[in-house]
Chains A and B, each alone.
Chain A
């Protein structure tokens, strides 16, 4: 039975630089990187050596402690470098792309006629598995567990988020095949959650045999965590898997063609981008070509992903595995004088969820926000502000404190199994203390992962 959920809590951060609905294709990037750090908590065991030739879809490493989970190269080319950091930890695998792209081919498959185990085995063997993430813990799903449901969010409500309706328009077959594959992974339901505010593209509405729900509200309404909480919440001992909408299409494409084609449309956004637009590129692509001639100044921060959850990368860094967007915003590494731009200023340039700045009056104005923290880190003083942007029946401040103090019982009771760091993005944004709440929640989840799972 489908339902419509309405949420009152949340916050839409209005930023300048949303992508225009024009798509341009850039040439295949010279290098592509696969970063083990994109898969939290995973230790890679390399299966290729530097200088080795790989095809798109060739397995390049696997999870050392969960070997069935394999990771594939998104392009064909040569393994240029395995970059290591402290204690020889593998930071990234750089692959230089070859002129003509060759694919590992496992042959076209009819998903409907495959057994559940076959689908799972094929996805694991072909390197598609990392697209499937699990709650609790927000890590790559452990294939051993039985998920009670799988959730796919058909929209992203983050600031400047790409429009999935636009991206997946016309990819109806790929998306429904992907959903078909997901159905094989669970004995429970597969939930597809649409944005209740606007009609969804036919790529989403044509999908059959899944539970379609609608949800209306402000960010984090598009976060799959919010949707799970309101539709079928995770309790202790249960697992829910989630897949990014665009990755469902990639999975679908694999079953339709037998090839792992990691092509992805991303949105190039942010106030420091000259011409924000959509770009067809590939997972892990070097962003230098994409940003070429697009950035307005030098003192900017390039983010793979959105401004709230993304990773800071350099101007010739690489797109993250799960990211659908690149955002470029100004760095805020300058002193701000108290009366003009500081804490006593009028603050017409500040976007705030509180009414301490006059900008709460300007309902539609968009802002050019920089990376300044706008203040120093402090202890928790103000109460009630996190709750206003956290549409869960969970006490965000108490849970964060439990995570900070490594209080396992407290975290379990307060609902750590239901949340991922990304659910706390707005708490982190609005918090007067400037504490990195996502990081604290991640540490809490890691502790839970070690001690209780």
Chain B
């Protein structure tokens, strides 16, 4: 690597202050720091520093998403074939290679658009502020495709990404400064700006428009939501579970957003995040507990099929688990104090199921729950901090 290093050393003066290409320094810095950890040495304070940096942290999150991505690609391919055949009973594991390729053909362009648009905007802001590319978007750029329905038009992903990066993040100051989770901002933008492309029974399977008449491409959650209306898709809960068994939901052999369906893939990611300490156990665990508790409460009321749905189903279907593991744990937008994290996660889980079941408009509540809790997180932290302050003040009085 001496060769590459020499190139960097040779080019450095051109990009340095006063050099010919000074303006392009952020770009130069972004690329060289990708290839080499810079020769920055400590100037003040501790002379040695931990090996960890934001690049390492962020790449770990991306690695944790790989199981979801791979499964999502395969699952997308599967449902595309199901839609084409108009037959939901197609064997999931048959024809694997073709399914994966079909899925890749759908998912890869989404990833390219998301990263392409997002990184371009980040670079532009980098130039404006004179700093190199910050790593936050590396994760957001992967999350955005994973929370999209398979059939979403590419231009919409582009617009949503641009909206999320500019309005959701950069106007607040960039990575580490945003209030709302960037990927969820992108999804929420599409959800409210183009609702027909983000919900209903047409968008979850690629190429569904051309499929057989009478076939619906709805999701498990979409079908469940119809229990709350006059015209349920299924007669009763049993008919539902015959169609989508709990095990199918755990494996993720159900239609849905690309990355969200497989609880097992998500749990693999969660293990990576928890083991490395990048993801917060407090948030993840309390989010799941919150959702489960809310499910039990709804069960206790009962009244119709959706309310009676066993609480553990809620954890396996829709975007609940994906949101809990990858979205709620975003350290920038979550609560920052230890106690705050538990409250934040628990309420997030409760509200997610509350919105999911009890509101008439949206079949999924996780996105809105997490965005809501993002906004509430500073308030939670405020009270936790006040608690800490009061505890210390009390010390004076008792002494």
Contact = CB atoms under 8 A, between A and B. Distances in A.
A250 to B, nearest CB: 26
Contacts of B396: 235-236
Interface SS of chain B: loop
Contact of B48 (A13, A341, A344, A384): A13
B385 interface: yes
Contact of B42 (A335, A373, A381): A373
A393 B385 CA distance: 11
B300 interface: no
Interface stretch (A115-123, A164-172, A273-281, A422-430): A422-430
A41 interface: no
Interface in B168-183: 173-177
Nearest to A159: B48
Given A335-B5, A395-B337, A421 B399 contact: no
Contacts of A338: 34-37
Given A357-B51, A371-B41, A381-B332, 11 more contacts: A307-B48, A327-B47, A331-B41, A356-B52, A374-B52, A394-B392, A398-B336, A414-B389, A425-B46, A430-B52, A439-B44
B277 A354 contact: yes
Given A393-B391, A395-B388, A430 B136 contact: no
Given A235-B396, A332-B41, A342-B37, A370 B48 contact: yes
Contacts of B53: 343, 374-376, 378, 432, 434
Contacts of A307: 46-48
25 contacts: A15-B48, A301-B41, A301-B47, A332-B41, A335-B36, A335-B39, A340-B1, A341-B37, A343-B55, A350-B51, A352-B52, A354-B278, A372-B39, A373-B42, A374-B51, A374-B53, A376-B40, A378-B175, A379-B174, A381-B331, A384-B336, A398-B385, A425-B46, A432-B54, A434-B49
A414 B386 CA distance: 9
Interface SS of chain A: loop
A374 B47 contact: no
B8 interface: yes
A95 B70 CA distance: 70
Interface string B50-66: 11111111011000000
B104 to A, nearest CB: 24
Contact of A355 (B55, B175, B275, B395): B275
Nearest to A303: B47
A337 B4 contact: yes
B50 A337 contact: no
Interface string A299-313: 001010001111010
B36 A336 contact: yes
A376 B385 CA distance: 29
A334 interface: yes
B280 interface: yes
Nearest to B391: A393
Contacts of A357: 51-52
Contacts of B59: 343-344
Interface in B158-215: 173-177
B101 interface: no
A329 B48 contact: yes
- The CB with the most chain B CB atoms within 10 A, among A331, A379, A430, is that of A379
A438 B389 contact: no
Which 5 pairs across A and B sit closest by C-beta, in order of nearness? Answer: A375-B53, A350-B51, A379-B176, A438-B45, A335-B36
A336 B33 CA distance: 9
Contacts of A336: 36-37
Interface in B374-388: 385, 388
Contacts of A350: 50-52
B276 interface: yes
A415 interface: yes
Contact of A356 (B38, B60, B332, B336): B60
B136 to A, nearest CB: 7
B336 to A, nearest CB: 4
B132 interface: yes
A403 to B, nearest CB: 13
Contacts of A310: 47
B134 interface: yes
B334 interface: yes
Contacts of A52: none
A297 interface: no
Nearest to A435: B45
Interface in B277-335: 277-278, 280, 331-332, 334
B338 interface: yes
Interface in B94-139: 132, 134-136
Interface in B16-44: 32-44
A354 B54 CA distance: 12
Contact of A431 (B50, B56, B389): B50
A336 B278 CA distance: 23
A79 interface: no
Contacts of B39: 332-335, 372
Given A342-B37, A374-B37, A393-B388, A369 B48 contact: yes
A101 interface: no
Contact of B385 (A343, A395, A431): A395
A196 B330 CA distance: 39
Given A343-B53, A395-B337, A382 B331 contact: yes
Contact of B336 (A383, A413, A421, A431): A383
Contacts of B341: 384
Contact of A381 (B136, B337, B389): B136
A365 B279 CA distance: 27
Interface in A413-453: 413-415, 421, 425, 428-434, 436-439
B36 A342 contact: yes
Contacts of A236: 396
Given A338-B36, A340-B1, A380-B176, A428 B275 contact: no
A301 B43 CA distance: 11
A384 B338 contact: yes
